[in-house]
Structure 1
Protein backbone atom coordinates (compact mmCIF):
# COMPACT_ATOMS: atom_id res chain seq x y z
CA UNK A 1 0.00 0.00 0.00
CA UNK A 2 1.22 3.48 -0.92
CA UNK A 3 0.09 6.62 0.87
CA UNK A 4 0.50 10.17 -0.39
CA UNK A 5 -1.07 13.53 0.14
CA UNK A 6 -1.80 13.85 -3.59
CA UNK A 7 -2.26 11.29 -6.38
CA UNK A 8 -2.06 12.60 -9.94
CA UNK A 9 -3.41 10.45 -12.76
CA UNK A 10 -1.69 11.52 -15.97
CA UNK A 11 2.02 11.96 -16.64
CA UNK A 12 1.88 14.62 -19.34
CA UNK A 13 3.46 18.07 -19.09
CA UNK A 14 0.68 19.46 -16.87
CA UNK A 15 0.53 16.55 -14.42
CA UNK A 16 4.31 16.35 -14.09
CA UNK A 17 4.70 20.11 -13.58
CA UNK A 18 2.13 20.03 -10.79
CA UNK A 19 3.80 16.97 -9.26
CA UNK A 20 7.20 18.65 -9.23
CA UNK A 21 5.83 21.84 -7.68
CA UNK A 22 4.14 19.81 -4.93
CA UNK A 23 7.23 17.66 -4.29
CA UNK A 24 9.45 20.74 -3.95
CA UNK A 25 6.95 22.05 -1.39
CA UNK A 26 7.43 18.82 0.61
CA UNK A 27 3.99 17.51 -0.29
CA UNK A 28 4.08 13.77 -0.99
CA UNK A 29 2.79 12.93 -4.46
CA UNK A 30 2.27 9.83 -6.61
CA UNK A 31 1.97 10.09 -10.41
CA UNK A 32 0.17 7.29 -12.29
CA UNK A 33 0.38 6.92 -16.05
CA UNK A 34 -0.47 3.97 -18.27
CA UNK A 35 2.20 4.86 -20.85
CA UNK A 36 5.85 3.78 -20.64
CA UNK A 37 8.34 6.09 -18.96
CA UNK A 38 9.88 8.88 -21.04
CA UNK A 39 12.58 7.73 -23.45
CA UNK A 40 15.78 9.68 -23.91
CA UNK A 41 15.47 12.47 -26.51
CA UNK A 42 16.70 11.50 -29.98
CA UNK A 43 18.11 13.50 -32.89
CA UNK A 44 14.69 13.36 -34.58
CA UNK A 45 12.26 16.14 -33.73
CA UNK A 46 9.07 15.14 -31.93
CA UNK A 47 5.83 15.96 -33.72
CA UNK A 48 4.11 17.63 -30.77
CA UNK A 49 5.55 20.95 -29.60
CA UNK A 50 4.50 23.70 -27.21
CA UNK A 51 5.00 27.45 -27.41
CA UNK A 52 6.25 28.35 -23.95
CA UNK A 53 5.69 31.95 -22.87
CA UNK A 54 8.10 33.86 -20.67
CA UNK A 55 5.76 33.16 -17.72
CA UNK A 56 6.02 29.41 -18.42
CA UNK A 57 9.81 29.70 -18.69
CA UNK A 58 9.90 31.45 -15.30
CA UNK A 59 7.89 28.64 -13.71
CA UNK A 60 10.18 25.99 -15.19
CA UNK A 61 13.22 27.95 -14.00
CA UNK A 62 11.80 27.99 -10.48
CA UNK A 63 11.34 24.20 -10.69
CA UNK A 64 14.97 23.81 -11.90
CA UNK A 65 14.04 22.09 -15.18
CA UNK A 66 14.72 24.93 -17.62
CA UNK A 67 18.51 24.30 -17.81
CA UNK A 68 17.85 20.69 -18.91
CA UNK A 69 15.34 21.83 -21.53
CA UNK A 70 17.86 24.30 -22.99
CA UNK A 71 20.60 21.66 -22.85
CA UNK A 72 18.45 19.30 -24.90
CA UNK A 73 16.72 21.39 -27.57
CA UNK A 74 14.65 24.59 -27.65
CA UNK A 75 14.20 27.48 -30.06
CA UNK A 76 13.66 31.03 -28.87
CA UNK A 77 11.34 32.97 -31.16
CA UNK A 78 11.75 36.71 -31.43
CA UNK A 79 9.20 37.62 -34.12
CA UNK A 80 5.49 36.97 -34.74
CA UNK A 81 3.90 37.23 -38.18
CA UNK A 82 0.15 36.54 -38.57
CA UNK A 83 -1.71 37.05 -41.86
CA UNK A 84 -5.09 36.54 -43.48
CA UNK A 85 -4.66 34.77 -46.82
CA UNK A 86 -7.74 36.39 -48.38
CA UNK A 87 -7.12 40.01 -47.42
CA UNK A 88 -4.44 42.51 -46.48
CA UNK A 89 -4.99 41.72 -42.80
CA UNK A 90 -1.66 41.31 -41.02
CA UNK A 91 -0.07 41.78 -37.61
CA UNK A 92 3.66 41.54 -36.97
CA UNK A 93 5.81 42.44 -33.99
CA UNK A 94 9.11 41.48 -32.41
CA UNK A 95 10.87 41.30 -29.07
CA UNK A 96 12.65 44.64 -29.48
CA UNK A 97 9.36 46.50 -29.76
CA UNK A 98 8.39 45.00 -26.40
CA UNK A 99 11.88 45.42 -24.92
CA UNK A 100 12.24 41.70 -24.33
CA UNK A 101 15.08 39.27 -24.96
CA UNK A 102 12.63 36.99 -26.78
CA UNK A 103 8.88 36.33 -27.02
CA UNK A 104 9.03 32.70 -25.94
CA UNK A 105 10.39 29.28 -26.90
CA UNK A 106 9.17 26.45 -29.09
CA UNK A 107 9.95 23.17 -27.31
CA UNK A 108 9.03 19.58 -28.11
CA UNK A 109 6.65 18.11 -25.54
CA UNK A 110 8.87 15.04 -25.18
CA UNK A 111 11.77 17.23 -24.07
CA UNK A 112 9.63 19.10 -21.54
CA UNK A 113 8.46 15.76 -20.09
CA UNK A 114 11.99 14.36 -20.05
CA UNK A 115 13.30 17.35 -18.07
CA UNK A 116 10.40 17.21 -15.61
CA UNK A 117 10.82 13.48 -15.02
CA UNK A 118 14.58 13.83 -14.55
CA UNK A 119 14.05 16.44 -11.82
CA UNK A 120 11.16 14.51 -10.23
CA UNK A 121 13.36 11.46 -9.88
CA UNK A 122 15.55 13.49 -7.52
CA UNK A 123 12.64 14.29 -5.18
CA UNK A 124 12.21 11.98 -2.19
CA UNK A 125 8.56 13.00 -1.78
CA UNK A 126 7.62 12.02 -5.36
CA UNK A 127 6.80 8.55 -6.70
CA UNK A 128 6.48 8.01 -10.46
CA UNK A 129 4.53 4.96 -11.62
CA UNK A 130 4.55 4.59 -15.40
CA UNK A 131 3.19 1.53 -17.21
CA UNK A 132 0.61 1.57 -14.42
CA UNK A 133 -3.16 1.64 -14.78
CA UNK A 134 -5.80 1.99 -12.12
CA UNK A 135 -8.81 -0.28 -11.82
CA UNK A 136 -11.11 1.47 -9.36
CA UNK A 137 -11.42 4.78 -7.56
CA UNK A 138 -13.47 5.25 -4.41
CA UNK A 139 -13.68 8.22 -2.10
CA UNK A 140 -14.61 8.68 1.54
CA UNK A 141 -15.14 11.89 3.46
CA UNK A 142 -11.40 12.29 4.02
CA UNK A 143 -9.53 10.05 1.55
CA UNK A 144 -9.43 8.77 -2.01
CA UNK A 145 -8.73 5.07 -2.57
CA UNK A 146 -7.18 4.09 -5.90
CA UNK A 147 -6.87 0.41 -6.69
CA UNK A 148 -4.31 -0.43 -9.39
CA UNK A 149 -4.87 -3.21 -11.90
CA UNK A 150 -2.11 -5.09 -10.08
CA UNK A 151 -4.31 -5.00 -7.00
CA UNK A 152 -2.07 -2.60 -5.10
CA UNK A 153 -3.96 0.18 -3.28
CA UNK A 154 -3.00 3.85 -3.07
CA UNK A 155 -4.52 6.17 -0.48
CA UNK A 156 -4.41 9.94 -0.99
CA UNK A 157 -6.07 13.06 0.38
CA UNK A 158 -6.51 14.58 -3.07
CA UNK A 159 -6.90 13.06 -6.54
CA UNK A 160 -5.94 15.16 -9.56
CA UNK A 161 -7.32 14.19 -12.98
CA UNK A 162 -4.62 15.18 -15.48
CA UNK A 163 -5.50 12.38 -17.87
CA UNK A 164 -6.26 14.42 -20.96
CA UNK A 165 -9.20 15.68 -22.99
CA UNK A 166 -11.03 12.35 -22.80
CA UNK A 167 -10.47 12.02 -19.05
CA UNK A 168 -11.85 8.75 -17.72
CA UNK A 169 -11.86 10.23 -14.21
CA UNK A 170 -13.98 13.16 -15.35
CA UNK A 171 -16.49 10.74 -16.83
CA UNK A 172 -16.53 8.53 -13.71
CA UNK A 173 -17.34 11.47 -11.44
CA UNK A 174 -19.75 13.09 -13.93
CA UNK A 175 -17.89 16.40 -13.99
CA UNK A 176 -19.55 19.06 -16.11
CA UNK A 177 -17.99 19.73 -19.52
CA UNK A 178 -18.59 22.50 -22.04
CA UNK A 179 -18.05 21.09 -25.54
CA UNK A 180 -18.13 22.57 -29.02
CA UNK A 181 -17.19 20.71 -32.19
CA UNK A 182 -15.35 23.05 -34.58
CA UNK A 183 -15.41 20.38 -37.31
CA UNK A 184 -11.65 20.70 -37.71
CA UNK A 185 -8.70 18.37 -37.34
CA UNK A 186 -5.14 19.53 -36.64
CA UNK A 187 -2.37 17.91 -38.67
CA UNK A 188 1.18 18.19 -37.30
CA UNK A 189 4.43 17.62 -39.17
CA UNK A 190 8.08 18.65 -39.25
CA UNK A 191 9.20 20.36 -42.44
CA UNK A 192 12.39 21.87 -43.84
CA UNK A 193 12.36 25.02 -45.95
CA UNK A 194 14.90 26.49 -48.34
CA UNK A 195 14.88 29.81 -46.49
CA UNK A 196 15.67 29.97 -42.73
CA UNK A 197 12.89 30.74 -40.29
CA UNK A 198 14.76 33.67 -38.67
CA UNK A 199 13.30 32.77 -35.27
CA UNK A 200 9.84 33.81 -36.44
CA UNK A 201 6.56 32.15 -35.54
CA UNK A 202 4.24 32.46 -38.53
CA UNK A 203 0.54 31.80 -38.99
CA UNK A 204 -1.70 32.28 -42.01
CA UNK A 205 -5.49 32.05 -41.89
CA UNK A 206 -6.66 30.08 -44.92
CA UNK A 207 -10.31 29.64 -45.95
CA UNK A 208 -10.17 26.11 -44.49
CA UNK A 209 -8.42 27.10 -41.25
CA UNK A 210 -5.08 28.38 -39.90
CA UNK A 211 -1.65 26.99 -40.82
CA UNK A 212 1.17 27.72 -38.36
CA UNK A 213 4.93 27.47 -38.94
CA UNK A 214 6.80 27.28 -35.63
CA UNK A 215 10.61 27.60 -35.64
CA UNK A 216 12.75 24.74 -34.32
CA UNK A 217 16.40 24.72 -33.24
CA UNK A 218 17.66 24.01 -36.78
CA UNK A 219 17.54 27.27 -38.75
CA UNK A 220 15.57 25.75 -41.65
CA UNK A 221 13.30 23.36 -39.74
CA UNK A 222 9.74 24.11 -38.61
CA UNK A 223 6.98 22.34 -36.77
CA UNK A 224 3.72 22.96 -38.60
CA UNK A 225 0.17 22.75 -37.28
CA UNK A 226 -2.44 22.75 -40.04
CA UNK A 227 -6.05 23.08 -38.87
CA UNK A 228 -8.49 22.12 -41.59
CA UNK A 229 -11.64 20.15 -42.34
CA UNK A 230 -11.61 16.41 -41.50
CA UNK A 231 -11.89 15.48 -45.20
CA UNK A 232 -9.01 17.75 -46.22
CA UNK A 233 -6.91 16.44 -43.33
CA UNK A 234 -7.48 12.87 -44.52
CA UNK A 235 -6.42 13.90 -48.03
CA UNK A 236 -3.22 15.48 -46.71
CA UNK A 237 -2.38 12.41 -44.62
CA UNK A 238 -2.81 10.14 -47.64
CA UNK A 239 -0.36 12.12 -49.79
CA UNK A 240 3.22 11.04 -50.46
CA UNK A 241 5.98 13.42 -49.31
CA UNK A 242 6.26 15.20 -52.64
CA UNK A 243 2.53 15.93 -52.93
CA UNK A 244 2.34 16.98 -49.28
CA UNK A 245 5.29 19.36 -49.72
CA UNK A 246 3.58 20.89 -52.74
CA UNK A 247 0.33 21.33 -50.77
CA UNK A 248 2.18 23.05 -47.92
Structure 2
Protein backbone atom coordinates (compact mmCIF):
# COMPACT_ATOMS: atom_id res chain seq x y z
CA UNK A 1 0.00 0.00 0.00
CA UNK A 2 1.11 3.55 -0.66
CA UNK A 3 1.06 6.37 1.91
CA UNK A 4 -2.36 7.57 0.81
CA UNK A 5 -3.87 4.12 1.21
CA UNK A 6 -2.24 3.65 4.62
CA UNK A 7 -3.97 6.84 5.75
CA UNK A 8 -7.27 6.16 4.02
CA UNK A 9 -7.66 2.68 5.51
CA UNK A 10 -5.98 3.43 8.83
CA UNK A 11 -9.09 2.58 10.86
CA UNK A 12 -9.07 -0.88 9.33
CA UNK A 13 -5.37 -1.25 10.01
CA UNK A 14 -6.00 -0.67 13.71
CA UNK A 15 -8.11 -3.84 13.83
CA UNK A 16 -6.00 -6.91 14.55
CA UNK A 17 -8.40 -9.04 12.48
CA UNK A 18 -7.68 -6.91 9.40
CA UNK A 19 -4.35 -5.07 9.70
CA UNK A 20 -2.17 -4.51 6.63
CA UNK A 21 -2.44 -8.06 5.32
CA UNK A 22 -6.23 -8.05 5.41
CA UNK A 23 -6.46 -4.66 3.73
CA UNK A 24 -4.15 -5.82 0.99
CA UNK A 25 -6.48 -8.77 0.42
CA UNK A 26 -9.35 -6.31 -0.06
CA UNK A 27 -7.38 -4.17 -2.47
CA UNK A 28 -6.69 -7.26 -4.58
CA UNK A 29 -10.25 -8.65 -4.30
CA UNK A 30 -12.66 -9.06 -7.21
CA UNK A 31 -16.33 -8.87 -6.25
CA UNK A 32 -19.41 -9.42 -8.40
CA UNK A 33 -22.60 -7.66 -7.31
CA UNK A 34 -25.71 -8.81 -9.13
CA UNK A 35 -28.46 -6.25 -8.71
CA UNK A 36 -27.86 -2.51 -8.39
CA UNK A 37 -31.17 -1.76 -6.69
CA UNK A 38 -31.93 -1.47 -2.99
CA UNK A 39 -29.63 -4.19 -1.63
CA UNK A 40 -26.85 -3.45 -4.09
CA UNK A 41 -27.09 0.26 -3.35
CA UNK A 42 -26.31 -0.48 0.30
CA UNK A 43 -23.70 -3.22 -0.16
CA UNK A 44 -21.62 -1.73 -2.97
CA UNK A 45 -20.78 1.65 -1.33
CA UNK A 46 -19.43 -0.02 1.82
CA UNK A 47 -17.33 -2.42 -0.24
CA UNK A 48 -16.02 0.54 -2.23
CA UNK A 49 -15.27 2.55 0.89
CA UNK A 50 -13.56 -0.49 2.46
CA UNK A 51 -11.18 -0.68 -0.50
CA UNK A 52 -12.37 -3.69 -2.51
CA UNK A 53 -10.17 -3.24 -5.57
CA UNK A 54 -12.38 -4.45 -8.41
CA UNK A 55 -16.16 -4.58 -8.50
CA UNK A 56 -18.43 -5.73 -11.30
CA UNK A 57 -22.04 -4.51 -11.26
CA UNK A 58 -24.66 -6.47 -13.20
CA UNK A 59 -28.20 -5.15 -13.68
CA UNK A 60 -30.42 -4.70 -16.73
CA UNK A 61 -32.77 -2.05 -15.29
CA UNK A 62 -32.98 1.72 -15.65
CA UNK A 63 -33.39 4.13 -12.74
CA UNK A 64 -37.02 5.08 -12.07
CA UNK A 65 -38.53 7.61 -9.69
CA UNK A 66 -39.97 4.86 -7.46
CA UNK A 67 -36.43 3.53 -6.90
CA UNK A 68 -35.27 6.66 -5.10
CA UNK A 69 -37.20 5.81 -1.92
CA UNK A 70 -34.53 3.23 -1.03
CA UNK A 71 -31.88 2.82 -3.76
CA UNK A 72 -29.38 5.33 -2.45
CA UNK A 73 -26.73 4.89 -5.17
CA UNK A 74 -29.11 6.67 -7.53
CA UNK A 75 -30.26 10.29 -7.49
CA UNK A 76 -32.78 12.43 -9.30
CA UNK A 77 -30.06 13.15 -11.88
CA UNK A 78 -29.86 9.39 -12.58
CA UNK A 79 -33.47 9.01 -13.74
CA UNK A 80 -33.60 7.16 -17.04
CA UNK A 81 -29.98 6.04 -16.84
CA UNK A 82 -28.89 2.44 -16.45
CA UNK A 83 -28.51 1.43 -12.82
CA UNK A 84 -25.03 0.05 -13.40
CA UNK A 85 -23.75 3.27 -14.96
CA UNK A 86 -25.39 5.34 -12.23
CA UNK A 87 -23.92 3.03 -9.59
CA UNK A 88 -20.46 3.13 -11.15
CA UNK A 89 -20.46 6.94 -11.10
CA UNK A 90 -21.56 6.96 -7.45
CA UNK A 91 -18.93 4.42 -6.35
CA UNK A 92 -16.07 6.17 -8.15
CA UNK A 93 -17.13 9.33 -6.35
CA UNK A 94 -16.52 7.47 -3.08
CA UNK A 95 -13.25 5.88 -4.12
CA UNK A 96 -11.64 6.87 -7.40
CA UNK A 97 -8.90 4.23 -7.07
CA UNK A 98 -11.32 1.37 -7.69
CA UNK A 99 -11.88 -0.54 -10.90
CA UNK A 100 -15.64 -0.73 -11.60
CA UNK A 101 -17.08 -2.79 -14.44
CA UNK A 102 -20.68 -1.98 -15.35
CA UNK A 103 -22.63 -4.65 -17.24
CA UNK A 104 -26.16 -3.67 -18.27
CA UNK A 105 -27.47 -7.17 -18.73
CA UNK A 106 -29.71 -9.62 -16.94
CA UNK A 107 -27.83 -12.34 -15.07
CA UNK A 108 -27.78 -15.54 -17.12
CA UNK A 109 -25.88 -18.83 -17.12
CA UNK A 110 -23.80 -17.68 -20.08
CA UNK A 111 -22.87 -14.37 -18.48
CA UNK A 112 -22.03 -15.92 -15.10
CA UNK A 113 -19.93 -18.66 -16.67
CA UNK A 114 -17.87 -15.96 -18.36
CA UNK A 115 -17.47 -13.83 -15.23
CA UNK A 116 -17.07 -16.21 -12.29
CA UNK A 117 -13.62 -17.66 -13.12
CA UNK A 118 -12.21 -14.20 -12.32
CA UNK A 119 -14.34 -13.49 -9.23
CA UNK A 120 -13.58 -14.04 -5.52
CA UNK A 121 -17.10 -13.60 -4.13
CA UNK A 122 -20.64 -12.93 -5.38
CA UNK A 123 -23.36 -10.84 -3.75
CA UNK A 124 -26.87 -11.78 -4.86
CA UNK A 125 -28.86 -8.54 -4.55
CA UNK A 126 -31.63 -9.56 -6.93
CA UNK A 127 -35.34 -9.89 -6.23
CA UNK A 128 -36.64 -12.92 -8.11
CA UNK A 129 -36.55 -16.67 -7.57
CA UNK A 130 -35.44 -17.80 -11.03
CA UNK A 131 -32.40 -15.53 -11.10
CA UNK A 132 -31.40 -16.60 -7.59
CA UNK A 133 -31.39 -20.23 -8.73
CA UNK A 134 -29.20 -19.43 -11.73
CA UNK A 135 -26.74 -17.51 -9.53
CA UNK A 136 -26.64 -20.26 -6.92
CA UNK A 137 -25.99 -23.02 -9.49
CA UNK A 138 -23.21 -21.01 -11.13
CA UNK A 139 -21.52 -20.20 -7.81
CA UNK A 140 -21.62 -23.86 -6.77
CA UNK A 141 -20.20 -24.97 -10.11
CA UNK A 142 -17.33 -22.47 -9.97
CA UNK A 143 -16.80 -22.85 -6.18
CA UNK A 144 -17.30 -19.15 -5.55
CA UNK A 145 -18.78 -18.03 -2.19
CA UNK A 146 -22.24 -16.48 -2.44
CA UNK A 147 -23.73 -13.89 -0.08
CA UNK A 148 -27.48 -13.82 -0.62
CA UNK A 149 -29.83 -11.16 0.72
CA UNK A 150 -33.53 -10.48 0.31
CA UNK A 151 -35.97 -7.89 1.62
CA UNK A 152 -39.72 -7.43 1.30
CA UNK A 153 -42.19 -5.36 3.28
CA UNK A 154 -40.63 -5.40 6.80
CA UNK A 155 -38.78 -8.73 6.55
CA UNK A 156 -35.19 -9.33 5.55
CA UNK A 157 -33.12 -12.48 5.11
CA UNK A 158 -29.38 -13.09 4.86
CA UNK A 159 -27.42 -16.24 3.95
CA UNK A 160 -23.88 -17.22 3.05
CA UNK A 161 -23.40 -20.24 0.79
CA UNK A 162 -19.77 -21.33 0.41
CA UNK A 163 -19.27 -24.14 -2.09
CA UNK A 164 -15.63 -24.49 -0.95
CA UNK A 165 -17.00 -25.86 2.33
CA UNK A 166 -18.33 -29.41 1.97
CA UNK A 167 -20.76 -28.86 4.84
CA UNK A 168 -22.25 -25.64 3.48
CA UNK A 169 -25.78 -25.85 2.08
CA UNK A 170 -26.67 -23.94 -1.06
CA UNK A 171 -29.72 -21.84 -1.92
CA UNK A 172 -31.38 -24.82 -3.60
CA UNK A 173 -31.14 -26.80 -0.35
CA UNK A 174 -33.61 -24.29 1.10
CA UNK A 175 -35.73 -23.67 -1.98
CA UNK A 176 -35.79 -26.42 -4.58
CA UNK A 177 -35.56 -25.28 -8.22
CA UNK A 178 -38.49 -27.62 -8.92
CA UNK A 179 -40.83 -25.81 -6.53
CA UNK A 180 -43.28 -23.31 -7.92
CA UNK A 181 -43.23 -19.96 -6.13
CA UNK A 182 -45.43 -17.01 -6.86
CA UNK A 183 -43.08 -14.14 -7.61
CA UNK A 184 -43.60 -11.21 -5.25
CA UNK A 185 -41.64 -7.99 -5.20
CA UNK A 186 -41.68 -4.55 -3.67
CA UNK A 187 -43.55 -3.05 -6.62
CA UNK A 188 -46.64 -4.98 -5.58
CA UNK A 189 -46.05 -5.64 -1.86
CA UNK A 190 -44.16 -2.54 -0.74
CA UNK A 191 -40.95 -2.26 1.25
CA UNK A 192 -39.72 -0.34 4.30
CA UNK A 193 -36.97 1.94 3.01
CA UNK A 194 -34.18 1.29 5.58
CA UNK A 195 -34.66 -2.49 5.40
CA UNK A 196 -32.65 -2.85 2.20
CA UNK A 197 -29.93 -0.74 3.82
CA UNK A 198 -29.77 -3.03 6.83
CA UNK A 199 -29.64 -6.25 4.80
CA UNK A 200 -27.36 -4.80 2.11
CA UNK A 201 -24.77 -3.56 4.58
CA UNK A 202 -24.88 -6.94 6.31
CA UNK A 203 -24.12 -8.50 2.94
CA UNK A 204 -21.12 -6.21 2.63
CA UNK A 205 -19.93 -7.18 6.11
CA UNK A 206 -20.21 -10.89 5.30
CA UNK A 207 -18.30 -10.38 2.06
CA UNK A 208 -15.48 -8.56 3.86
CA UNK A 209 -15.27 -11.33 6.46
CA UNK A 210 -14.96 -13.97 3.77
CA UNK A 211 -12.44 -12.02 1.70
CA UNK A 212 -10.19 -11.26 4.67
CA UNK A 213 -10.82 -14.52 6.53
CA UNK A 214 -11.87 -13.66 10.06
CA UNK A 215 -14.78 -14.28 12.42
CA UNK A 216 -17.68 -16.63 11.75
CA UNK A 217 -19.61 -15.87 8.54
CA UNK A 218 -23.21 -17.07 8.19
CA UNK A 219 -22.33 -20.39 6.58
CA UNK A 220 -24.96 -22.91 7.63
CA UNK A 221 -27.09 -20.23 9.25
CA UNK A 222 -29.92 -18.00 8.07
CA UNK A 223 -30.34 -14.59 9.63
CA UNK A 224 -33.88 -13.19 9.72
CA UNK A 225 -34.49 -9.51 10.44
CA UNK A 226 -37.97 -8.23 11.25
CA UNK A 227 -37.96 -4.45 11.03
CA UNK A 228 -41.55 -4.25 12.22
CA UNK A 229 -40.81 -5.81 15.61
CA UNK A 230 -37.07 -5.01 15.64
CA UNK A 231 -36.34 -8.70 16.05
CA UNK A 232 -33.44 -10.85 14.87
CA UNK A 233 -33.73 -14.63 14.56
CA UNK A 234 -31.31 -17.27 13.37
CA UNK A 235 -32.06 -20.65 11.81
CA UNK A 236 -29.47 -23.40 11.56
CA UNK A 237 -29.17 -24.98 8.11
CA UNK A 238 -27.65 -28.20 6.82
CA UNK A 239 -26.86 -29.43 3.33
CA UNK A 240 -29.69 -31.41 1.77
CA UNK A 241 -28.24 -34.70 0.47
CA UNK A 242 -31.01 -34.79 -2.14
CA UNK A 243 -30.42 -31.22 -3.32
CA UNK A 244 -30.56 -30.92 -7.11
CA UNK A 245 -27.57 -28.56 -7.13
CA UNK A 246 -25.13 -29.61 -4.40
CA UNK A 247 -26.48 -32.98 -3.23
CA UNK A 248 -26.41 -36.59 -4.39
CA UNK A 249 -29.41 -35.99 -6.65
CA UNK A 250 -27.74 -33.34 -8.76
CA UNK A 251 -27.60 -33.81 -12.52
CA UNK A 252 -25.51 -30.98 -13.99
CA UNK A 253 -27.20 -29.10 -16.78
CA UNK A 254 -25.42 -28.91 -20.10
CA UNK A 255 -24.39 -25.27 -19.58
CA UNK A 256 -22.58 -26.12 -16.33
CA UNK A 257 -20.78 -29.25 -17.54
CA UNK A 258 -17.02 -29.14 -18.03
> Per chain length, whose mean CA-contact separation is higher, i.e. which structure has more relative contact order (CA < 8 Å, sep 6+)?
1
TM-score by length of 2: 0.33
* Structure with more helix by fraction: 2
TM-score by length of 1: 0.34
* Structure with more strand by fraction: 1
